[in-house]
Structure 1
Amino acid sequence: MTPILATSLTIGGAGLACSGLLALAARFLSVEEDPRVEEVTNILPGANCGGCGFAGCANYAEAIIVDNAAINLCAPGGADVLKSLADMLGQTAQAAEHKVAIVLCNGDTANAPRKFEYNGVADCHAAHAIGGGDKLCSYGCLGYASCARVCPVGAIEMTGGIAKVHPDLCISCTACVKACPRQLIKMVPSARTIHVLCSSKDKGPAVKKACKVGCIGCTLCTKQVDDEQIKMEGFLAVVDYAKPLDSDAPIEKCPTHCIVRT
């Protein structure tokens, strides 16, 4: 037997042995996937928005089957998906509290001046990176539509240089929340309709200089409620959405009209 043939046979034999070992390992060490994972994945809408807290629909489906995750976390799927999941898994279809996105800023071009002319990329992250943004208010909506571009259903409209969410169109996916570099967009219960549309943490005089409709920290609104539905966080009035607030008194008392009903 020639050296070349011997070497070839040795290498070939080693390859066959390794192949056999790999085949045995695949047979005995493999983990069978529960077929229900695929069934649940097919029921979910396939938006992969991440609003449920998981990376995508397939990950959420696996969590439902393997980790007993709640079946009511898919906001885009709504009642139909929830009912289908409940029927398939023999669970009760108990809907989660419906939430919608809101932009906590009302400083449009008529009310909030710019401190310089920005000529860069029309993107909020890019604008924010240049000197903290071109808006005089360092907390306000920059207005370059980063949130609107990521909304899968077109629920965000740019009007007067700021973003506005149409609550009747919002599917609670939270994509816009993640897209805002200033963390101005919050998910709030859809049943709550009174909001403080300001996020400035500055004192009153600084707010007045930067925006005509900003919260100046006067505390008048907090005196119009009986259960701390609106409270002060520093110089900013904040709505406690866990508590019902139906009175228009805070709206009427606000001197800068930053409290609105939607």
Structure 2
Amino acid sequence: MSGSHTHPLYLEGSSAVHRLPTEVKIVAAVVAMFAIVATPREAVWAFAAYLAGLALVWQIAGIRPRWLAPRMLIEVPFVVLAVLLPFAESGERTELLGISLSVPGLLAAWGILVKGTLGVLTSLTLAATTPARSLPAGLARLHVPAMVTVIVTLMLRYVNLLAGEIDRMRTARIARGDDPRTLHQAGATARGVGGVFLRAYERGERVHLAMLSRGFTGTVPLSAPPATRADWCAGLAPAAYAVAIATIAWMV
């Protein structure tokens, strides 16, 4: 993957967070997300502390909330689910603005919203400070299976290309008088998706053959030096902070 391909989730920068080795940031993000998920949903203060820790990382990395906001739209399906839970769940009821809501449903909705939001923010922070081209080497250093590393690499490289192809097909259909929002066009939409899938499969075969012809052996070459002890100590500090908060939340 050449340096000319910049992922839309990556934010150019030269901060201390950007300079950390990729494998350190991956481990820190995964550990932090596990800590967030393990935190009792009743510990509201803990989630505020997580957000404060993320805000500090954003300050160091030069990430602004207005850059994060539009990229948070990926969370919309979870928000819809959370909104429906207080109406669908059974159990003890309470009234809010004259509407009867389920107390267990409200708690479940709060847990989904707050943990999902913090998880998405953590993932966006990792993506914003880590070039996509460095992920394969980082995964390889963490001893992730080579096949998984290759799949992730190609997915990151070609997902935007396929999305652009789908968008061009949609534009072409609309230009010919089609309205993809109507139900009777579902068949045409399905055929379009099938066509993109077939082209993606064929492209994958051609890319694989091209890689083999250039000496690809199934493993990712490691050119950058491994992370030092100082890198691990600095990079895992936010993860240790998150684990400490989760532990205190359970003890309290």
TM-score, with structure 2 as normaliser: 0.21
Structure in which a larger fraction of residues adopt strand: 1
Structure richer in helix, relative to its length: 2
Higher RCO (CA-CA < 8 Å; seq separation 6+): 2
